[in-house]
Structure 1
């Protein structure tokens, strides 16, 4: 039997009488797929041929493939106070026919216009407040109300470019607004990712459905942002301002920036100078900024956007941004202060505000809500709490749950003490839809739908689609793709006819110093992970030979490993396994991969989606290695991890040759040089190595990925001198020190701040000259088991490379003093020191 047949049968089967405690759980819910008589609803009938035949086995397999696809794409959601969690997508989409969606679309457009009008009024003439349509305390007591821009002179004719609205159905199947998301409406990137995955893994069902594709919507969003520019520049600069990689929706922010082609920046990447916003240059303030920002699509809450005029303890914003907004030199999307519209206390007054500002009846009513600052609202909420506490949700003005884990009487006491701070909302019996559950079957789950709108031209346009949330497991929501079917297959996607894009001048935007630093360290950690994995494979190969006594090669390679990562386990296999799976162990491959991922997440907008498959492959290999210390499995996992890391070379090879790519390669070659010095230093150990020279040199060549090259070039004759010539001085060997320094010259010279005589360039020349003057025969000479010339050269090279790395940071990453809290105390201290 198919999944939908089983689901329909479960819904319509006879049930035993319920106890009183079960009555609320049994409330009649509107089902999005199955009508009361047990038939498919209109939207699903058109998909019946493909959808009805899906069996439990097929959907279960599809669920696993979706999880792997999302992991390969690096899709995560960071739950507050916790780490990043895998994004969850249900295999079964939420489907609307054209007729039912049109009604919802009209309501969403009207709501966006209303929210824009309310914000314009609140920060302008304030007719709603002066006429008592909205009580003043509802607005002024909300933390999202920004007084610094509450004046008619601030030029924001349309402060809301984007909006999102959370919706749920009541018991009659009518849509009601649960919340408005306008501060920094998130989810559009997740919605697009959901669509990409479902279309890839359910091609038959996707192709059979004549549904609206989402791509045109992103095209008009890009154009709408460009049109927001306050200047007449033909090539306006738009950036996406992010709180950083630890934000709950960091992936969503990066996806939007990447898809729209706009830089993803953080507060420290921007400065305000001469009343305008600029990309911060390296060595600011000693360097003049050249890249002016015209539009900021912000994902930072308003109160954190400017430590000078808003929250003084913020390190997420841009000092002076409010003044730039007042001058009209930059457009912030959505406008500063829009967070006040997310106030749940506004919900009871939206209908009256709609009639006053738009002269229309409100098409999308909210769930019944009562503001406790009014006597009637307070009485209603208290009555419901005392008689049916499960039927009412109490929130504070900023939207937080007030009654979570609080006894009813204690909650009532808090409300009575400060009633204006609280809002009561009726709990709706949300509509339900089949979602794939842990039981291996489709289970009915309540739904919340998030719809999106954007102002394009003179009106708002609603995304024909969106994102639905079915449940919340372990801090990460289970989401659904939302399909809106076309009334006619020939209808244009999103109802948008093809238009010619605006003429733009091709350019390669400059990267902020923070982004360059992230890319530099991504290159270093990628090389570090690769070199450690090669060492693990070389040491494991020697262990597998099972020589007795233990070979000198094994001792040398383990010595190199221990010098790079310390010693954790006496047993070699446990030690090697730890290097693969312990991300908390500095120097391990797992640690390097974790740091590389963190660095790349900060510049996700610059990268192809293929980058994240590197981590998906590595994560699966590490998961297998964690379960066993068996030698063959360690080598197998290390090999798979190495394959994933090596694939990163292919991805970066396809990047545009901008400063970011050059910085990745510079970091890679500096790290490769340092790792090679550490590897060769092992051959200068204090004990005689002549008896095991051949084995040691083969192990070194294997770890340096040069064994095959040496055999071909020197016909397998492993003399010490030939090894050092190949690894140190051979300009044709990509793994040699000379090759790394030569290419490092190219990458450093291509960076914007390089002049040919900067300190990093001078240090590189010194290292190249030092290496060129060294003689391979002299380096290979032994004195009582030592190679003093080699040891001296490697020590000098290692020290020089460390200095070179620091110099790269000083020239290309340094961007002024660190940000400080702009509190009154710190200002007084600064004045006192002056």
Structure 2
């Protein structure tokens, strides 16, 4: 028997999970999947996209639609981002939007001095109503948009689902649905709900009281205006007194025995677990359409996590249309180039920086391991060259261990160590979570690979495992460049590359200052120079360009002034200019661009002979040049942040403002 347990209309989640489940199952059991004539889910997303565009107040084919999310920390953040990606609509947070003249706009960089340009027509909200507008609803919310309620009232934006839709989640409505259905539709309710009683009905309360006082485990009580979790029933008498004090605020439901489905617990072991089917319904054109198939949840217990299942509905005839929907869409094909929010630009910029930071540190670790492994003869030479190279890692992430193997394990695995590979990967993952809707699904395979490499290193006691793990992590990060290379060349992609180029320039300077400022002698300098080239991926290039041998002047020329070497400081600065010029606010004379002019001129004017010259065994000109470049690069990064990522003052709750501040803000 089928029963409806509850309704979700505030910010219903799960459609993205259903689609992802379907994709996974099609890969795990391809023969079974392709041999079954089941309804595909993709047409349902097409219908949802069409319905959202049609919901625009002006019914324009080029209507701007966004998906409003609470952010990457939401428990359903993946589902929200997946949905936005499948629909092709931007995933935005409340801070990305602003209400002006009764309409909602994408907040531009430089706001409020810069006037918003891109109007939002439809918002698919994944934020509960009470958090959507701190001005009129919950004053301590930082998830919504101030003034959104008034914009909805004026018809300046369409909110899906509407702010009042949450009333339909009230469990006290369930006992009245059969009568409502007959009154409004003239027919019987097709699907019964789970037995429910509204405690405001005296007869229902009299029926429930003995069961509640007897601690009947099959009955739970919920508040009609509170969270969905049942009330504490450990003290039955106290619970009944609370209900009798304000009975209209509570509803009771009977817990039905749920159907069972097999679920894998461990290899070779299957458990029977209760399942709940989550269905989805869409108002499409002139009718309501349910998703055919979808998502089931295997209910969790104390020993097992919650699991989801893909639900198949087979076609009566293989020729039937998927989801009963025609392939053709009634929406006109209109090109849409959504503006990238300043917050998203910030995340993309730092994703480039963290990716490059992790990659360069991994190359350095591999170079040091190679240097130590190749120098088999014990003595001063091996110890001194390795010590010089380790000094570069100390500048990047400090020192935790004296033992070299323990230190490298920490560099690769310790996420709490600032500057370590694990720390950079963790920050990289966080920044990408905020812009998941703009990324390929292949992006997350990178973290799967780095996680596997880290897990393998944790369980192996052998030193060679360090190099293997570092190599696997590096390979994964190089694959990340491949996924970003397939992104559209919009402001977001250029900001990734800007961050990557800034970080590469900084890393080059740190590496050279740690290894080449103090002149070494004999084989030690040769070994260090070789390792520096390996760490900067420039060994082959150096051999092709400088056939006379390995000298400090050649390495400095290749890594500082060479305009054609992608690993040189000069090349990185040129790439910063190229990608920064593609930003909408760049004019050629903005502060970041003026600072770049100055830095480029200084690098072009410096002579390699001056940089390579050592006085009292110290290359002071090289040190001063790199130190000055480091300071200028960091100032350029701050200028980029101020110009391209700033979107007004930080969010504050109204509860945190004084009466004087509120009066000034409203005057």
TM-score between both structures, scaled by the size of structure 2: 0.96
Correspondence for 2:16 = 189
Residues 54-73 of structure 1: pairs in structure 2 closer than 5 A: none
2:73 maps to 1:246: yes
CA-CA distance at 1:259 after TM superposition: 0.6
2:34 maps to 1:207: yes
Q: Is the Cα–Cα contact under 8 Å of residues 672 and 740 in structure 1 kept in the other structure?
A: yes
CA-CA distance at 1:410 after TM superposition: 3.8
Deviation string, structure 1 residues 382-437 (Cα, Å, up to 9, x no partner): 22223352111222223433345734344334333443332211010111122212
What CA distance in whole angstroms lies between the structure 2 residues aligned with 1:417 and 1:228? 44
2:53 maps to 1:222: no
What CA distance in whole angstroms lies between the structure 2 residues aligned with 1:335 and 1:366? 24
Correspondence for 1:54 = none
What CA distance in whole angstroms lies between the structure 2 residues aligned with 1:306 and 1:513? 21
Q: Is the Cα–Cα contact under 8 Å of residues 540 and 631 in structure 1 kept in the other structure?
A: no
CA-CA distance at 1:817 after TM superposition: 0.8
Secondary structure in 2 aligned to 1:316?
coil
Q: Is the Cα–Cα contact under 8 Å of residues 224 and 456 in structure 1 kept in the other structure?
A: yes
Q: Is the Cα–Cα contact under 8 Å of residues 67 and 84 in structure 2 kept in the other structure?
A: yes
2:334 maps to 1:502: no
Secondary structure in 1 aligned to 2:300?
strand
Segments of structure 2 that go 5 or more residues without pairing to the other structure are none
Correspondence for 1:453 = 281
Correspondence for 2:184 = 357
Q: Is the Cα–Cα contact under 8 Å of residues 62 and 334 in structure 2 kept in the other structure?
A: yes
Say if 1:359 and 1:577 are closer, same or farther in 2 by CA, change over 3 A. same
2:383 maps to 1:554: no
Correspondence for 1:433 = 261
Secondary structure in 1 aligned to 2:637?
helix
Q: Is the Cα–Cα contact under 8 Å of residues 622 and 637 in structure 1 kept in the other structure?
A: yes
Q: Is the Cα–Cα contact under 8 Å of residues 370 and 380 in structure 1 kept in the other structure?
A: no
CA-CA distance at 1:500 after TM superposition: 3.9
What CA distance in whole angstroms lies between the structure 1 residues aligned with 2:204 and 2:542? 84
The match for 2:306 among 466, 471, 477 is 477
Correspondence for 1:664 = 496
The match for 2:450 among 607, 618, 623 is 618
Deviation string, structure 1 residues 201-242 (Cα, Å, up to 9, x no partner): 111111111100111111101000000000243300000000
Say if 1:438 and 1:384 are closer, same or farther in 2 by CA, change over 3 A. farther
Deviation string, structure 1 residues 552-595 (Cα, Å, up to 9, x no partner): 32112211111111111111111111111111111011111111
Q: Is the Cα–Cα contact under 8 Å of residues 452 and 463 in structure 1 kept in the other structure?
A: yes
CA-CA distance at 1:688 after TM superposition: 5.1
CA-CA distance at 1:686 after TM superposition: 5.7
Say if 1:484 and 1:832 are closer, same or farther in 2 by CA, change over 3 A. closer
Q: Is the Cα–Cα contact under 8 Å of residues 262 and 271 in structure 2 kept in the other structure?
A: yes
Correspondence for 1:813 = 645
Correspondence for 1:17 = none
Deviation string, structure 1 residues 98-135 (Cα, Å, up to 9, x no partner): xxxxxxxxxxxxxxxxxxxxxxxxxxxxxxxxxxxxxx
Correspondence for 2:570 = 738
What value does the CA root-mean-square deviation take over the aligned residues? Answer: 1.8
Count of matched residue positions in the alignment of Structure 1 and Structure 2: 661
Correspondence for 2:292 = 464
CA-CA distance at 1:267 after TM superposition: 0.2
Secondary structure in 2 aligned to 1:447?
strand
2:69 maps to 1:237: no
CA-CA distance at 1:629 after TM superposition: 4.4
Correspondence for 2:418 = 586
What CA distance in whole angstroms lies between the structure 1 residues aligned with 2:523 and 2:264? 64
Q: Is the Cα–Cα contact under 8 Å of residues 573 and 629 in structure 1 kept in the other structure?
A: no
Correspondence for 1:532 = 361
Residues 166-185 of structure 1: pairs in structure 2 closer than 5 A: 174-185=1-12
Correspondence for 1:673 = 505
2:404 maps to 1:572: yes
Say if 1:824 and 1:577 are closer, same or farther in 2 by CA, change over 3 A. closer
Correspondence for 1:523 = 352
Correspondence for 2:587 = 755
2:199 maps to 1:372: yes
Say if 1:676 and 1:501 are closer, same or farther in 2 by CA, change over 3 A. farther
2:151 maps to 1:319: no
What CA distance in whole angstroms lies between the structure 2 residues aligned with 1:661 and 1:614? 18
What CA distance in whole angstroms lies between the structure 2 residues aligned with 1:408 and 1:628? 54
The match for 2:560 among 728, 735, 745 is 728
What CA distance in whole angstroms lies between the structure 2 residues aligned with 1:649 and 1:769? 30
Q: Is the Cα–Cα contact under 8 Å of residues 344 and 399 in structure 1 kept in the other structure?
A: no
Correspondence for 1:198 = 25
What CA distance in whole angstroms lies between the structure 1 residues aligned with 2:136 and 2:180? 30
What CA distance in whole angstroms lies between the structure 1 residues aligned with 2:525 and 2:413? 32
CA-CA distance at 1:512 after TM superposition: 0.6
Say if 1:404 and 1:580 are closer, same or farther in 2 by CA, change over 3 A. farther
Q: Is the Cα–Cα contact under 8 Å of residues 295 and 332 in structure 1 kept in the other structure?
A: yes
Secondary structure in 1 aligned to 2:379?
coil
What CA distance in whole angstroms lies between the structure 1 residues aligned with 2:610 and 2:478? 34
What CA distance in whole angstroms lies between the structure 2 residues aligned with 1:542 and 1:824? 57
Secondary structure in 1 aligned to 2:252?
strand
Q: Is the Cα–Cα contact under 8 Å of residues 112 and 647 in structure 2 kept in the other structure?
A: yes
Q: Is the Cα–Cα contact under 8 Å of residues 352 and 497 in structure 2 kept in the other structure?
A: yes
Q: Is the Cα–Cα contact under 8 Å of residues 245 and 602 in structure 1 kept in the other structure?
A: yes
Correspondence for 2:321 = 492
Say if 1:321 and 1:475 are closer, same or farther in 2 by CA, change over 3 A. farther
Q: Is the Cα–Cα contact under 8 Å of residues 229 and 331 in structure 1 kept in the other structure?
A: yes
Q: Is the Cα–Cα contact under 8 Å of residues 519 and 614 in structure 2 kept in the other structure?
A: no
Correspondence for 1:822 = 654
Residues 272-283 of structure 1: pairs in structure 2 closer than 5 A: 272-283=99-110
Residues 46-61 of structure 1: pairs in structure 2 closer than 5 A: none
What CA distance in whole angstroms lies between the structure 2 residues aligned with 1:603 and 1:571? 39
Segments of structure 1 that go 5 or more residues without pairing to the other structure are 1-173
Q: Is the Cα–Cα contact under 8 Å of residues 688 and 786 in structure 1 kept in the other structure?
A: no
Correspondence for 1:607 = 439
What CA distance in whole angstroms lies between the structure 2 residues aligned with 1:261 and 1:746? 28
Q: Is the Cα–Cα contact under 8 Å of residues 371 and 527 in structure 2 kept in the other structure?
A: no
What CA distance in whole angstroms lies between the structure 2 residues aligned with 1:531 and 1:824? 43
Secondary structure in 2 aligned to 1:823?
helix
Correspondence for 2:609 = 777
What CA distance in whole angstroms lies between the structure 1 residues aligned with 2:626 and 2:329? 60
Q: Is the Cα–Cα contact under 8 Å of residues 53 and 59 in structure 2 kept in the other structure?
A: no
CA-CA distance at 1:716 after TM superposition: 6.9
Secondary structure in 1 aligned to 2:589?
coil
TM-score between both structures, scaled by the size of structure 1: 0.77
Secondary structure in 1 aligned to 2:654?
coil
Deviation string, structure 1 residues 36-69 (Cα, Å, up to 9, x no partner): xxxxxxxxxxxxxxxxxxxxxxxxxxxxxxxxxx
What CA distance in whole angstroms lies between the structure 2 residues aligned with 1:749 and 1:685? 34
Secondary structure in 2 aligned to 1:389?
coil
CA-CA distance at 1:439 after TM superposition: 6.8
What CA distance in whole angstroms lies between the structure 2 residues aligned with 1:500 and 1:350? 34
Correspondence for 2:137 = 310
Secondary structure in 1 aligned to 2:7?
strand
Residues 125-136 of structure 1: pairs in structure 2 closer than 5 A: none
What CA distance in whole angstroms lies between the structure 1 residues aligned with 2:294 and 2:172? 25
Secondary structure in 2 aligned to 1:212?
coil
CA-CA distance at 1:506 after TM superposition: 1.2
- More deviation, 663-672/343-352: 343-352
Correspondence for 1:655 = 487
